[in-house]
Structure 1
Amino acid sequence: MQLVHEPVSGGDATDKGGDRRVLATDVDLADSLLSQTRGLMFRRSLLDGSALTFRFDSAAVRDVHMLFVFFPIDAVWVVDGVVERVERLRPWLSFARAECDLLVELPAGTADGVEDGDRVVLES
């Protein structure tokens, strides 16, 4: 599974196909209550090319906290494949929330260039 970013031009949902890029090729799906609760807590790093994703049945407001996370991350909240929010979170101190049905956590800097309205999708 890989995570792909598809930017839109001028906010009109027209895909700039040449700008499509893979954000992560090593995608870990937090699919159990335990893995969702633990998230990235107590890990020492998140390797380049990797992502932790949380898929939900429906869109709702979801929180990300950085308590016991020792490194910065980029968090991306997505609804129906469309980016709702992108945030760089600092270790230990950050907290953010937004609506999503897919929440993605990436190494800091990976989501540079990902903007609200862009598409981010998981592909098999």
Structure 2
Amino acid sequence: MLLISNGNAVASKVEVASSFLAKSRGLMFRRSIPEDYAMLFTFKKPEKVSLHMVFVPFPIDVLLLDTGMRILETRYLKAWIGLLNSKTKVSYVVEMPAGSIARHKLKIGQQLSLVD
């Protein structure tokens, strides 16, 4: 699976977290993630989300997306202590290596897509 923005690959390795357990575990207990990796959290209906970085020993970039996979918020979360409470209801959350937002020039309002 490939995560794309403006025709350019943002992540070539996308792991989908749709179950309660997968969403609860997220990136906890991993030592690192590859540069071309993204974890995509999916929600059945839009909801406000809270994320924490407990047991995640590396920083990440986070994208909060609407039902059309348009970016609503971008955030950087510090290892171990980062917290995020979304301002609005979201349909998707994308967690990527720190620096991904700047590297791919991702901005609020930009649309992403998934390709198998």
The TM-score normalised by the length of structure 2 is: 0.90
**Structure 2 residue identity aligned to 1:4:** I
Quote the residue 1:97 is aligned against.
Answer: 85
Q: CA contact under 8 A between 2:4 and 2:112: conserved in structure 1? A: yes
* DSSP-derived class of the 1:111 partner: helix
Quote the residue 1:38 is aligned against.
Answer: 25
Q: Deviations over 1:55-76 (max 9, x none)?
A: 1122111111111110000000
Quote the residue 1:15 is aligned against.
Answer: none
Q: Distance in 1 between matches of 2:16 and 2:69?
A: 16
Quote the residue 1:2 is aligned against.
Answer: 2
Which protein is richer in strand relative to its size? Answer: 1
Quote the residue 1:22 is aligned against.
Answer: 9
Q: Distance in 2 between matches of 1:81 and 1:30?
A: 15
Q: Distance in 2 between matches of 1:42 and 1:77?
A: 22
Which one of 80, 100, 106 corresponds to residue 96 of structure 2?
Answer: 106
* DSSP-derived class of the 2:100 partner: coil
> How do 1:44-123 residues align onto structure 2 when only pairs under 5 Å count?
44-79=31-66, 80-98=68-86, 99-112=89-102, 113-123=105-115
Where does structure 2 lack aligned partners over 5 or more consecutive residues?
Answer: none
Q: How many residues align?
A: 111
Q: Distance in 2 between matches of 1:45 and 1:88?
A: 16
Q: What is the Cα-based RMSD across aligned positions, in Å?
A: 1.1
Deviation of 1:31 after TM superposition, in Å, equals 2.2
* DSSP-derived class of the 2:38 partner: strand
* DSSP-derived class of the 2:48 partner: strand
Q: CA contact under 8 A between 1:52 and 1:104: conserved in structure 2? A: yes
Q: State the structure with more CA Rg.
A: 1
**Structure 1 residue identity aligned to 2:112:** V
* DSSP-derived class of the 1:59 partner: strand
